[in-house]
Structure 1
């Protein structure tokens, strides 16, 4: 019997989101664009573009390209997405990675499971040198990056490439992603999936552990 495989989206489940990282003061471009936006938007301060992304009316790249353009128009860094991302994510540092993701990867490997990262924009958003310094990327068995492969989630070919490289059937994967459209794409293929709630990471990680048959995380160990 094939052991299940853990599959993680990178931005969100593994890496803290830009919405969580923004630390510029009120009135700066970063604050105006990212504070209480995306998954952290509220009923009083909604983010219609994020809602369109979750509904599948626009792509994730559409969303971030528009944020980068707004950033540039409002006096931020250069107009490309990498300039905005670099402002928040450089230098590479351990604090950018969720501890719950580190523990989940470690425990999955200890249980004999293969682990993959399935990202749309790892190489599109970040420089190679930065990626090399994020240790968890080197600790997984397979990385499939849509910006390299020419397909983006929820295109089925990207999930197929992951299945082939992990040598695990769709039904034997457990997939964690913070974008509803990517979850829908995985579920159509029969991949057991968990939507990652940025506002409640612990519950999302616990749901993945349950599907994989892993014990609850030991927070005292």
Structure 2
């Protein structure tokens, strides 16, 4: 039985920027991110996102490109942190997916260790912002590549997580919305689920099955 739940932060836990712009029509961020990334359509493909998913560029390179476009379209400085902060401030409960809260709660009650494995939490957000997102405090371990000096899918980041959680790779279940990070985890023998932003319920259900948890809501009415 898997002993640890490992979550990427942006996507599986936190709503993506692509979702947050939906209620901001007419803004530079909306023009830049609406129906882009994982929400791109066949009629309006996002080739840069496809390059990211294929491993041809890094996640930071993707967001650097988007930040430059944001600046050119009327945003503030061409800085990734400024662009993300524009969408995520102020910190608020609505930014966190309810199914993620339920998954963390049920994993905790079942005695599973829980960790966040992220590339850019502190690169995007201030310490004050992080402290106000309560689910971060529910984690046993947070490993942040922007602090550690290694980024997924570098094996060292997964190694640090395993060491701090006190589990083996074979005892982990990992959820991430970037296919290149999934490939990196699977190469180490970590059971992994790609988080589909367009179908979160299926992704969470697969993680629950791997962890031996009941379907969402079964324990809590």
**TM-score tier (shorter):** over 0.9
The DSSP-based 3-state class of the residue aligned with 2:208 is helix
Q: Superposition pairs for residues 88-127 of structure 1, below 5 Å?
A: 88-127=87-126
The CA deviation at 1:3 is 5.3
Distance in structure 1 (CA, Å) of the matches to 2:2 and 2:41: 40
Q: Do 1:117 and 1:143's aligned partners in 2 also have CA atoms closer than 8 Å? A: yes
CA contact (8 A) 2:25 2:31 kept: no
> In the alignment, which residue of structure 2 is the partner of 1:157?
156
Q: Structure 1 unaligned runs (5+)?
A: none
Aligned to 2:49: 50
> Which ranges of structure 2 fall in alignment gaps of 5 or more residues?
none
What pairs with 1:1-221 in structure 2 (closer than 5 Å)?
4-22=3-21, 23-26=23-26, 28-218=27-217, 221=221
- Contact 1:12 1:178 (C-alpha < 8 Å) held by counterparts: yes
CA contact (8 A) 1:3 1:112 kept: no
SS at match of 2:48: helix
Return the alpha-carbon distance in structure 2 between the equivalents of residues 104 and 210 of structure 1.
11
Runs of 4+ in 1 over 2 A off after TM superposition: none
With normalisation by structure 1, the TM-score equals: 0.97
Q: 1:31: how far off?
A: 1.3
> Cα distance, 1:78 vs. partner?
1.8
Cα contact 2:119–2:151 (8 A) shared by 1: yes
Question: 1:19–1:36: 8 Å Cα contact kept in structure 2?
Answer: yes
**CA–CA distance in 1 between the matches of 2:94 and 2:77?**
25
Instruction: State the Cα distance separating 1:77 from its structure 2 match.
Output: 1.8
Computed over aligned residues only, the root mean square deviation of the Cα atoms, in angstroms, reads 1.1
The TM-score, its normalising length taken from structure 2, stands at: 0.97
Size of the alignment, in residue pairs? 219
Q: CA deviation at 1:24?
A: 2.0
Give the CA deviation at 1:214. 0.4
